Amino acid sequence: MNDVTQPSRRQLLTLIGRMGGAAAMYQAMTALGHAAETQFTGPPVLSGAKPGASVVVLGAGLAGMVAAYELEKAGYSVKILEFQDRPGGRNYSLRGGDSFTESDGTVQKVTFAPGNYVNPGPWRIPHHHKCLLHYCRQFGVALEPFIQLNHNGFIHSSDAFGGKPMRYREVAVDFKGHTSELLAKALGAGALDQSVTAEDKEKLLEALRNWGLLDANMAYTSSVHVSSQRGYDRPPGGGINGAPTPSQIAKLSDVFSPQVWTAMSFYFNYVMQTTMFQPVGGMDMIGKAFAKHVGKSITYNAKVTKVAQNGKGVTVSYQDVPSGKVNTVSADWCVCTIPLSIIRQVEMQVGPKLAAAMKAVPYAGHIKMGLEFKRRFWEEDDAIYGGHSFTDQAIGQLSYPNDRFFSNGPAVLLGAFTSGAGAFQLAGMTPAERIEAALKQGEVFHPQYRKEYLSGVSVPWTRVPWILGCTSRWSEENRAAHYQNLVALDGRVVLAGEHASYYGGWMEGSMLSGLDAIAQIHKRASAA
């Protein structure tokens, strides 16, 4: 008998994390009972706040505002310093009349028609993001469905299908059909007799026949039966010419293109499942709702320049952006939600462990482009209502609007959403060059682009002055070495934001970290 040592849970999670990254490890933690969906059961209980206790919050994003809201409810005196002239942080929308200034001073003016917008940052809310949904309900933020999986969207690979975009339903059905045939052949040849019983073999063959739409010879071939899932060349009709014409299945080699299975697997990601929501009228409705409750505590156009602390409290120096005047604010405690890419450039009196943690986390560069067109040709011509199309070109992904279906007049399409090499390639262009690239690459899906185009705006997050990136990108090694130091109370300062969570890049992670930060402060303040 071989002496095989079973890995511990910690070792298993480490292996999963190395292979699949943080998201895969989080899902494994959930399966092993180490984590709930988002670990939110309600706002923290901050009873017994000492009279006169004060907190200064740096940043009026969602992490900062949820922290301020709950602190004020508990009786703390709160002041919020915000660099921009609006609340919400990355939670915002660009509309006609707005402008976006890049880090080099380049200005883009948005000319969208009234009611049209693009969300440059977060744009969808999974159903299991309980904390965010809790505050949306509490503040009366109206939500509507955000369509994730649309079988009528496109998948495009330059190296498959002759470079022609294919409908998601076509390639998804062909993928399961071809793989079912291959597995059926392996079963028929006895290749899996050591793995399945004779009874299970029969069950599996029957499952493959039905699930894979195989014919009597256990082959995947073009037929009306197959077309009932992948779509027809001529759909069913009525009367004399009502008989449908089956479509032709794709070749096996094309279906196995990486672009196909990566696009398909996208929808199996834990946070990319299909039940999602968006605020009616734009993502900034959430930030605006918070600001209605904590807005009186916010000082806008406040650029933090120094954070000093001692055993009694914290003093924050900040510059009024319009006038250049330097001011200070003092408090007993500080919640800092400024992105690490910015705050590590600021003089801060924190311990060496927190200082090292702040420097350890890089930021990913994403880019989004909003393209306004004269009409909803993706609906009228291509029958696409919401959802996404994927490409291996630099623009990465298109996303179709989920509101005002069938309406007339101009509408905005998300004409690019990409990270990595594609994002850096596009970010290095001028705004006009980016739009041209988006139009040229988008024509692969929709030849109507040029004729219908009105205006556009591009937001390369590496060139956004107040973050110089988009979202934190922890490695498992960095998280093991620095995460607990980053999120722990350091004297009288504690950090919060999406970077201080296991839900990096999501509003839920930002808010959960904000609530954890104030729970730490309240515990320490109550014990003092």
In tens digits, the chain (528 residues) has pLDDT values of 343 344 454 554 455 444 444 334 434 443 333 334 567 888 888 888 888 899 999 999 999 999 999 999 999 999 999 999 999 999 999 999 999 999 999 999 999 999 999 999 999 999 999 999 999 999 999 999 999 999 999 999 999 999 999 999 999 999 999 999 999 999 999 999 999 999 999 999 999 999 999 999 999 999 999 999 999 999 999 999 999 999 999 999 999 999 999 999 998 888 887 789 999 999 999 999 999 999 999 999 999 999 999 999 999 999 999 999 999 999 999 999 999 999 999 999 999 999 999 999 999 999 999 999 999 999 999 999 999 999 999 999 999 999 999 999 999 999 999 999 999 999 999 999 999 999 999 999 999 999 999 999 999 999 999 999 999 999 999 999 999 999 999 999 999 999 999 989 999 999 999 999 999 999 999 987
CB 378 within 8 A of CB 427: no
DSSP letter string over 185-196?
HHHHTTTTTTTS
Give me the pLDDT at residue 49, please. 83
Count other C-beta atoms under 10 Å from residue 56's C-beta: 29
pTM of the model: 0.89
Beta bridge pairs of residue 80: 57, 298
Give me the pLDDT at residue 243, please. 95
- Among 490, 523, 517, residue whose Cα is nearest residue 501: 517
What is 95-124+366-461's CATH topology? Polyamine Oxidase; Chain A, domain 2 (3.90.660)
Give me the pLDDT at residue 199, please. 95
Give me the pLDDT at residue 37, please. 59
What CA dihedral angle connects 120, 126, 127 and 131, to 10 degrees?
-70
Residue 354, token pair as written in the block: 């927190």
pLDDT in tens, 196-225: 999 999 999 999 999 999 999 999 999 999
Sign of the four-CA dihedral 249, 253, 259, 260: positive
List Cβ neighbours of 267 (8 Å cut-off, separation of 6 or more).
148, 149, 273, 274
Beta bridge pairs of residue 108: 100
Give me the pLDDT at residue 4, please. 39
What is 167-266's CATH topology? de novo design (two linked rop proteins) (1.20.1440)
Instruction: Give the Å distances, CA to CA, from 435 to 114, 118, 217, 407, 450.
Output: 21, 14, 51, 25, 11
CA distance 460 to 468: 9
Domain borders along the chain are 95-124+366-461, 167-266
pLDDT in tens, 52-85: 899 999 999 999 999 999 999 999 999 999 999 9
Residue 130, token pair as written in the block: 């309980």
Strands (E), 84-237: 94-95, 99-101, 107-109, 117-118, 125-126, 143-147, 154-156, 166-167, 232-234
CB 506 within 8 A of CB 470: no
- Among 245, 242, 232, residue whose Cα is nearest residue 169: 232
CB 305 within 8 A of CB 317: yes
